[in-house]
């Protein structure tokens, strides 16, 4: 079935079935990361089922990564000279301590305020550390969670529903994702390689042709696993991931300008829009409808998973998106398969 006129807007909650953390859980992991430094304990499993002894090991590996990253950090000649490597490790402690006591709900929220930091060296160091830490923890979670079918596997449902031969991959819905990981691409790639026995190059080409939009950048490559040790991933994360705070001085419009036209086109052309595990952050909502008129959603059906979203927030969401949204208190799989099936 051709579902290419549908649009999926994906948030962190949609990738929980695949072992990835939500923004809130990522915050817990980072705070546990700092806590293990103080407790130095191996007894208790921490949030996200990662033990303190594991995190303690990851901590020292992360400090080594940060030292390595200094040679290609932002403005490296001015701020990240070789003699300042030890200072960068101190910045790791400062970052983790500052985030732990900030009461910021997510790491993205914390980093969005980094432009308020007047110490330029610390500002640049925190940006580098924040991006590297997000990358490190997402890769760790990927490594700890085996690939394959999982409970509430909505991507597998899409594949079974849409694809009868390899070229049917183009029948999949269009995708805008606010996630850094490439889980969606990875599952499709594995399906083509292992179900249709396509060569890797052909499978990669099919997935790339889907032009899945990662609004704030992506981590790693969908055709590779076991990447925690690969320093180039961290280098690319520092360069490619979008943290609003680091570029606030040039304006948020410029931050993701390369994405805006395609987002607008996909929002306008979709007949049905499904929000999956999306948190409805106000800044992201405004980004989605930037450049659209008040009647942009006329004739469209818009659905959303809405676990934990209050009635007050639902009213805010509809104001910001300038359209009614049908909310369902269910998982992504239940929304797509049972509540409001794709069609």
Q: Where are the domains of the chain?
A: 6-19+148-216+256-339, 23-144
State how far the Cα of 138 lies from the Cα of 136, in Å rounded to an integer.
Answer: 6
pLDDT beyond 70 at 308: yes
pLDDT beyond 80 at 301: yes
The pLDDT value given to residue 249? 40
State how far the Cα of 186 lies from the Cα of 153, in Å rounded to an integer.
Answer: 13
Q: How confident is the model at residue 186 (pLDDT cuts 50, 70, 90)?
A: very high
* Least confident stretch, 19-33, 65-79, 188-202, 315-329: 65-79
Total-model pTM: 0.83
State how far the Cα of 273 lies from the Cα of 15, in Å rounded to an integer.
Answer: 18
pLDDT beyond 70 at 72: no
The pLDDT value given to residue 39? 37
Give a three-class secondary structure readout of the chain.
Answer: CCCCCEEEEECHHHHHHHCCCCHHHHHHHHHHHHHHHHHCCCCCECHHHCEHHHHHHHHHHHHHHHHHHHHHCCCHHHHCCHHHHHHHHHHHHHHHHHHHHCCCCCHHHHHHCHHHCCCHHHHHHHHHHHHHHHHHHHHHHHHHCCCCCCCCCHHHHHHHHHCCCHHHHHHCCEEEECCCCCHHHHHHHHHHHHHCCCCHHHHHHHHHHCCCEECCCCCCCCCCCCCCCCHHHHHHHHHHCCCHHHHHHHCHHHHCHHHHHHHHHHHHHCCEEEEECCCCCHHHHHHHCCCCCCCCCCCCEEEEECCCCCHHHHHHHHHHHCCCCEEECCCHHHHHHHHCCCC
C-alpha distances in Å from residue 318, one per residue of 70, 194, 311: 44, 42, 11
The answer to whether 233 and 99 have CB atoms below 8 angstroms apart is no
Q: Which fold has domain 6-19+148-216+256-339?
A: Rossmann fold (3.40.50)
Q: Token match 């700890």: residue?
A: 144
What b/e string do you get for 273-310 counting C-beta neighbours within 10 Å, with b at 16 or more? bbbbbbbbbeebbebbbeebeeeebeebbbbbbbeebe
The pLDDT value given to residue 9? 98
Count the Cβ atoms, other than its own, within 10 Å of residue 68: 14
Radius of gyration, alpha carbons of the chain: 21
The pLDDT value given to residue 324? 96
> Residue 200 — φ and ψ, nearest 5°?
-55, -45
The answer to whether 292 and 298 have CB atoms below 8 angstroms apart is no
What digits encode the pLDDT tens for the residues 92-151?
Answer: 888 888 888 888 878 888 887 877 788 887 887 888 888 888 888 888 777 777 677 678
| Residue with the larger pLDDT of the pair 3 and 53 | 3
Q: What does the block give as tokens for 166?
A: 């390899």
pLDDT beyond 50 at 80: no
In 3D, which of 203, 105, 129 has the Cα closest to residue 163?
203
């Amino acid at each position: 079935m051709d579902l290419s006129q549908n649009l999926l807007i994906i948030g962190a909650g949609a990738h929980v079935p695949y072992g990835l953390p939500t923004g809130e859980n990522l915050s817990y992991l980072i705070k546990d990361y700092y806590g293990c430094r103080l407790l130095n304990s191996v007894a208790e499993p921490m949030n996200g089922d990662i033990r303190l002894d594991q995190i303690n090991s990851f901590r020292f590996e992360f400090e080594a990564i940060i030292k390595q990253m200094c040679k290609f950090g932002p403005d490296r000649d001015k701020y990240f000279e070789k003699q300042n490597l030890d200072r960068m490790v101190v910045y790791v402690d400062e970052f983790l301590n500052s985030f732990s006591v900030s009461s910021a709900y997510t790491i993205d929220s914390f980093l969005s305020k980094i432009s308020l930091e007047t110490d330029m060296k610390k500002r640049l160091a925190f940006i580098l550390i924040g991006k590297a830490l997000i990358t490190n923890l997402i890769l760790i979670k990927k490594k700890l969670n085996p690939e394959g079918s999982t409970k509430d596997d909505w991507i597998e449902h899409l594949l079974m529903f849409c694809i009868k031969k390899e070229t049917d991959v183009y029948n999949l819905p269009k995708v805008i994702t606010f996630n850094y990981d490439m889980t969606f691409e990875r599952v499709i790639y594995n399906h083509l390689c292992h179900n249709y026995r396509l060569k890797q190059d052909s499978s990669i080409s099919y997935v790339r042709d889907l032009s899945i939009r990662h609004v704030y950048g992506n981590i790693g490559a969908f055709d590779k696993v076991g990447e925690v040790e690969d320093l180039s991933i961290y280098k690319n994360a520092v360069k490619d991931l979008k943290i609003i705070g680091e570029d606030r001085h040039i304006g948020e419009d410029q931050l993701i300008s390369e994405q805006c036209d395609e987002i607008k086109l996909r929002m306008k052309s979709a007949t049905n829009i499904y929000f999956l595990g999306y948190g409805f952050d106000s800044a992201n909502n405004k980004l989605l409808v930037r450049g659209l008129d008040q009647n942009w959603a006329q004739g469209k059906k818009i659905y959303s998973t809405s676990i934990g979203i209050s009635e007050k927030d639902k009213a805010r969401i509809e104001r910001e998106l300038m359209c009614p949204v049908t909310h369902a208190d269910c998982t992504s799989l239940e929304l797509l398969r049972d509540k409001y099936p794709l069609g």
